[in-house]
Structure 1
């Protein structure tokens, strides 16, 4: 009988050991839910960003999705984040329309253990990290250098931002104006920053107003993805392609036709898909208890050697496009 109990006991030990090795741990098999919240749904820029978030989900086996309000409105973004907190998502990546308006709800998310990553919001506080594709001041100064070259370094110009509360857009323009004042004294800013609310139609209407108010206007810088396109349409309609230069942030899929006609001279951008992927990858590292360090390689072009300053992660990821090289990009 004793021998039988020893055999039974031995079998039990074997079964337990086998279970330890053959059954995955809860932590290893745990699937996270990664949400990405953008300024505005249905915009080509954020459609492209969604591709990166979905690619991250496919590669890691996590659930990823992207959503945004039907119009650029901070209150609507706050409501979306509140809903995500109630859903107990694992992380929230967000491109805030007005960073200060999101601070309280993002703090609530962090208090619930949700990893929070922002983009285009280097001044935001209640996040684990903010991701910037590049140094915003260098990007803005680069716009001014492009515009000055197109305008012969003289004449009147105007600037457009998605919102006066958009941190990145205003950092671009701060640097552009500083560059003009320092290097191009014969150029003149004709008006205060014009807001487009990330809306191509509003950008078009504001551009027409400026062109009528300032008949000698020689150039524009547009910061929101829709700005150069709205400006370009106004210029094309008024037959000013050879008189007025346009540079700014956009995508070939949206601005390509105007690059072809010369209504837009040059666009610059960073790949939103890469940012979508990187934000979720950073969130995954936070959830795994891993730190982010200066010089880290995040595994995406332009983010192979990041700079970390406080909470702000900066890559080297901008791309310049003109009519001559636009066929290299399919987004």
Structure 2
């Protein structure tokens, strides 16, 4: 009887082993999105797109991480950790593209697929995704500012940091546009806020003291208009000084309502998060993004493709949205 019990137990064990999934089954490919900073509403909204892509595509796992403050070195260390973990793909919104070239090269050398956003100067990326032409976007901000200012007077520009490539491109695009108006004078350009509304506020107060006759501010970081708007409002200059720039409707609603901020423009970070992960999965599956392709996301329905500065490509959409007091409620973020 003991022998029969042993044989029966062995048969049950073998049956269970055969019914179990293979122990060596490969895990689902992992796509990790690395943003400039966690906790900022822009990247909280982007995470919605990252999560949505993973939900819609159970064949991959998706997640978003970022440093606690906008710091290129901290962001680089997070990417280094992902390389050590040998994740399948990394999607990055770089704080400073030049600061992460080395770690992205190491990622690609290990076979990790690299997708970037707001980094069209990067050599070590397979695909950089831009929501639109950045110089044109900066010129668009400035044209609105010029009209608000009556095409004359002093104005200034803000950036998240001088290393934030797209912010600098927008500031430069604005400066180039302003050359059309000889009576517009750019002063103290490219003030760094480091994606911090309080820093933008302090810098705006400093500029208002230095240039009491200033007529316009062009914001670059998504929170610049919040800090600038606060400074302008406290100075009693709402409606007298023009404030235009990147922003999100919920963040800026108070100042749009009061007329302190005349308008904001943006692209939906949720869509950007989704599209980065979609392109990353395409790369994992050996697929290519081609000129004129419809990627199935608003603003990226007919993308343009050109060669990047390295071996990769730059994919550009048409995704910007303009918002003012009359229509900001249409966008629930």
Q: Distance in 1 between matches of 2:27 and 2:315?
A: 27
Structure 2 partner of 1:118: 116
Asked if 1:323 corresponds to 2:325, the answer is yes
Secondary structure class of the residue paired with 2:114: strand
Secondary structure class of the residue paired with 1:177: helix
Q: Which moved more, 1:80-89 or 1:320-329?
A: 80-89
Structure 2 partner of 1:15: none
Deviation at 1:87, TM superposition (A): 1.8
Deviation at 1:95, TM superposition (A): 0.7
- Alignment deviations for residues 15-36 of structure 1 (CA, whole Å, 9 cap, x no partner): xxxxxxxx99x99x86211100
Secondary structure class of the residue paired with 2:91: strand
Asked if 1:133 corresponds to 2:131, the answer is yes
Aligned pairs (5 A) from 1:200-215: 200-215=197-212
Q: Distance in 1 between matches of 2:269 and 2:134?
A: 16
Deviation at 1:78, TM superposition (A): 1.0
1:313 to 305, 312, 315: 315
Q: Distance in 2 between matches of 1:239 and 1:31?
A: 56
Q: Which moved more, 1:30-39 or 1:120-129?
A: 30-39
Secondary structure class of the residue paired with 2:215: strand
- Alignment deviations for residues 37-73 of structure 1 (CA, whole Å, 9 cap, x no partner): 0011100000000000100000001211101001111
Deviation at 1:242, TM superposition (A): 2.1
Structure 2 partner of 1:11: none
Structure 2 partner of 1:71: 69
Q: Distance in 2 between matches of 1:240 and 1:275?
A: 35
- 4+ residue segments displaced more than 4 Å: none
Structure 2 partner of 1:93: 91
Structure 2 partner of 1:199: 196
Q: Distance in 1 between matches of 2:325 and 2:304?
A: 32
- Alignment deviations for residues 239-298 of structure 1 (CA, whole Å, 9 cap, x no partner): 100210000000011111110111111000000000100001001010001111111111
Structure 2 partner of 1:255: 252
Any stretches of 5+ residues in structure 1 without a counterpart?
A: 1-22
Deviation at 1:192, TM superposition (A): 2.9
Structure 1 partner of 2:7: none
Q: How many residues align?
A: 306
Structure 2 partner of 1:186: 183
1:216 to 213, 217, 222: 213
- Alignment deviations for residues 71-116 of structure 1 (CA, whole Å, 9 cap, x no partner): 1111101110111112221110001111111001001111111111
Q: Distance in 2 between matches of 1:31 and 1:299?
A: 23
Deviation at 1:324, TM superposition (A): 0.5
Q: Distance in 1 between matches of 2:66 and 2:28?
A: 23
Asked if 1:161 corresponds to 2:156, the answer is no
Q: Distance in 1 between matches of 2:62 and 2:42?
A: 18
Secondary structure class of the residue paired with 2:31: strand
